[in-house]
Amino acid sequence: MTSEPNLFRIFILVIGMSLVTYIPRALPMLFLKEFRLNPSVENFLKLIPYAALGALIFPEILFSTNHMASSVTGGILAAVVAYFKGNLLIAVVAGIFGTVLYQWLFL
């Protein structure tokens, strides 16, 4: 016997995994396409990606450098620039600039 995996078995495994992940996503779209949610529920569901993104990013902002004050300064500057400008690239560059400037001036 060889230790090489059987390509046919791998192919069947990939097809099976594809079906298992596709079917739970496709069935609601097929059967619930005429179903409408309450507008307040829709508005709540639209906010979930922002909340999840904030929960993932905020702890990393606090501990991205050895000094929390410089990290918080950069995070606040990035948030202010993002709020007024709305451009992700400019906000990230402003956050990096704020962090580096704080470390250069105060540390």
45-80: per-residue pLDDT in tens?
888 888 888 898 889 998 989 999 999 999 999 999
Helical H runs in the chain? 7-31, 39-62, 68-85, 88-106
Is residue 67 included in any domain, yes or no?
yes
CA–CA separation, 23 vs 32, rounded Å? 14
Is residue 93 included in any domain, yes or no?
yes
Taking residues 95-106, report their average pLDDT.
95
Helix (H/G/I), strand (E/B), else coil: 65: coil
Is residue 29 included in any domain, yes or no?
no
Is residue 59 included in any domain, yes or no?
yes
Looking at residue 12, its pLDDT comes to 93
Taking residues 79-102, report their average pLDDT.
93
Total count of domains within the chain: 1
Looking at residue 32, its pLDDT comes to 83
Looking at residue 1, its pLDDT comes to 53
Is residue 21 included in any domain, yes or no?
no
Is residue 3 included in any domain, yes or no?
no
Is residue 28 included in any domain, yes or no?
no
Taking residues 75-93, report their average pLDDT.
92
Q: DSSP letter for 107, please.
A: -
pTM of the predicted structure, to 2 decimals = 0.58
Residue span of the structural domain in which 68 resides: 36-106
